[in-house]
């Protein structure tokens, strides 16, 4: 470490994360990295065993009142606390798959114009996680860089293309700290990462995606959670990029696809397969309901869409802890 300063600062917003942090924190602290790294936890009012658990690790803990939490603003606070040249944004329930995670992210900074590098989320093959979502790679890991030298070139993209190149993700992303100081996250309750990516492109920075930098991340979702989360995504991506959600596949088509996937999984019993089929059917129903609500409100104008979002998504849903929901 130069002058005892770490090369990388890892920032983790936390609230009631004791179910995950015993796995997440050691995996981050165990990264093999020349130059060193620090972990900064921003806790916003945990009432479980989180703070006592964090006492067992060499991490810096900053306390934030729950009322002050904001997805963009809280991450800007993390940047102000960071001592590293690079700042990594992640979350309390994301675990690096190996000890080279930070090195993979660093590898994307291959020229001075690269402002940030985004990794990949995967769902591990654990029996308490939806097997339809299990990670089944098709292509080998690789890097892709996007650059738009002028704002006009980025703005000329279609809404869907803008969303594609801005599929940015603060579950797994590394930034140059000096860039975040010049171009901070906007204060917003959702999609601060995608919004920042669009801002970065418009001022000429390059962004890199490296699928070799992987973290395991999964949320067990109830239908209510799925409805609110889907509606929040549709709303914010419409506001940022102008995208309209595509019509989903028919229920029978989706069911057949799920059956084919589950039949290939030999580690899951028939009863579990049946339970996961029912689980995914409920999730699809909730997603379709959120899409209908979105489209019906949009047909009546942006004002109605704003009111719908305020009613159903005013407070972003928090991930459910493992074991907090019985049955599927």
Paired tokens of 277: 């089929």
Apex 63 CA angle, 59 and 66, nearest 5 = 135
Name 177's bridge partners. Answer: none
- The C-alpha R_g of the chain, in whole angstroms, comes to 20
Q: What confidence score (pLDDT) does residue 321 get?
A: 67
Q: What confidence score (pLDDT) does residue 3 get?
A: 60
User: pTM for the full model?
Assistant: 0.93
Q: What confidence score (pLDDT) does residue 320 get?
A: 66
Give the whole-angstrom CA distance, residue 62 versus residue 136.
Answer: 37
CA atoms within 13 A on the CB side of 219: 15
* 8-216 is classed CATH 3.10.180.10: no
Q: Which residues contact 319 (CB under 8 A, 6 or more apart)?
A: 93, 219, 220
Q: What confidence score (pLDDT) does residue 7 get?
A: 94
For 73-99, write each residue's pLDDT tens digit: 999 999 999 999 999 999 999 999 999
Number of H helices and number of E strands within the chain? 12, 9
Name 11's bridge partners. Answer: 40, 89
Q: What confidence score (pLDDT) does residue 316 get?
A: 61
Q: What confidence score (pLDDT) does residue 250 get?
A: 83
Q: What confidence score (pLDDT) does residue 34 get?
A: 87
Paired tokens of 104: 């993979």
Q: What confidence score (pLDDT) does residue 52 get?
A: 96
Are 116 and 175 in contact, with CB atoms under 8 Å apart? yes
Are 29 and 57 in contact, with CB atoms under 8 Å apart? yes
Give the whole-angstrom CA distance, residue 292 versus residue 272.
Answer: 30
Q: What confidence score (pLDDT) does residue 220 get?
A: 87
Which residue numbers in the chain have pLDDT < 50? 1, 326-328
Give the whole-angstrom CA distance, residue 63 versus residue 237.
Answer: 31
* DSSP conformation class of 2: B
Q: Is 115 exposed, middle or buried (0-12, 13-18, 19+ CB in 10 A)?
A: buried
Give the whole-angstrom CA distance, residue 122 versus residue 49.
Answer: 27
What ranges do the domains of the chain cover? Answer: 8-216, 223-313
Strands 86-90 and 37-43: unpaired
């Amino acid at each position: 470490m130069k002058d005892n300063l770490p090369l990388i600062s890892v920032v983790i917003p936390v609230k009631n994360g004791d179910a995950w942090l015993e796995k997440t924190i050691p995996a981050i602290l165990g990264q093999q990295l020349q130059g060193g790294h620090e972990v900064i936890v921003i806790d916003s009012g945990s009432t479980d065993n989180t703070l006592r658990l964090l006492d067992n690790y060499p991490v810096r803990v900053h306390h934030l009142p729950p009322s002050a939490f904001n997805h963009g603003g809280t991450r800007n606070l993390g940047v102000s606390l960071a001592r590293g040249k690079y700042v990594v944004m992640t979350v309390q329930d994301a675990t690096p798959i190996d000890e080279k995670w930070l090195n993979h992210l660093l590898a994307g900074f291959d020229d001075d114009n690269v402002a940030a590098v985004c990794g990949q989320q995967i769902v591990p093959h654990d029996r308490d996680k939806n097997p339809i979502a299990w990670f089944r790679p098709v292509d080998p890991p690789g890097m892709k860089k996007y650059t738009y030298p002028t704002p006009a070139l980025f703005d000329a993209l279609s809404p869907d293309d803008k969303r594609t190149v801005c599929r940015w993700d603060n579950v797994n992303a590394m930034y140059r700290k000096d860039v975040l100081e010049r171009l901070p996250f906007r204060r917003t309750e959702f999609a601060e990462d995608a919004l920042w990516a669009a801002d970065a492109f418009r001022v000429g920075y390059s962004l890199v995606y490296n699928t070799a930098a992987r973290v395991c991340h999964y949320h067990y979702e109830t239908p209510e959670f799925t409805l609110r989360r889907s509606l929040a995504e549709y709303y914010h991506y419409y506001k940022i990029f102008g995208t309209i959600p595509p019509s989903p596949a028919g229920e029978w088509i989706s069911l057949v696809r799920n059956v084919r996937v589950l039949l290939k999984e030999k580690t899951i019993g028939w009863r579990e397969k049946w339970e996961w089929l029912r689980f995914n059917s409920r999730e699809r129903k909730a997603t379709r309901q959120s899409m209908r609500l979105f489209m019906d409100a949009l047909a009546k104008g942006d004002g109605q869409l704003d009111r719908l979002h305020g009613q159903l998504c005013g407070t972003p849903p928090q991930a459910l802890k493992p074991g907090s929901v019985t049955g599927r």
